[in-house]
Amino acid sequence: MKTLHALVVATTLAAGALFSSQALAHASLTASEPAAGATVAPAPKEIALSFNEKVEAAFSSITLADAGGKPVAVGKAKVDGANPAVLRLSLPALAPGAYTVGWAAAGRDGHRRKGEFTFTVK
């Protein structure tokens, strides 16, 4: 009976360790260009977001809004072909001012994470 109990406990612990690492595997933003809070000159031609893992293009996006909250006309974000952990968005010419970048990214586990940060064009 003790052997069976030990086997059940060991199996439960092993399964928990296996699934807990997968459950924590959400795509997290590790770096951005321009950097959060940065003041840049000249205006960037693109936004590049780096994540801790490959992101799924179909469930990941980048938005850009001006200081008044008005969306800036941009296309669709694309996963970098050379590094699937990087999401890029080409930008139109930006006027001086503050901008807010909104992002959503889904990693291999399918869970979407969202965030935002600001930068300023001098």
CATH, residue 69: 2.60.40.1220
Position 13 in a domain: no
* pLDDT value at residue 1: 54
Q: Which amino acid is at 8?
A: V
* pLDDT value at residue 9: 40
Provide the 8-state DSSP code for 71: B
* pLDDT value at residue 26: 85
The Cα angle at residue 72 between residues 67 and 76, in degrees rounded to 5: 140
Positions in the chain whose pLDDT score sits under 50:
4-23
The predicted model scores a pTM of 0.80
* pLDDT value at residue 108: 86
User: What's the domain range around 80?
Assistant: 27-121
CA–CA gap between residue 17 and residue 82 (Å, rounded): 32
Position 16 in a domain: no
* pLDDT value at residue 121: 98
Can you read off the two tokens belonging to residue 40?
A: 């840049």
Position 89 in a domain: yes
* pLDDT value at residue 80: 98
Task: Tell me if 14 sits within 8 A of 64, measured CB to CB.
Answer: no
Residue 32: CB atoms within 10 A of its CB come to 20
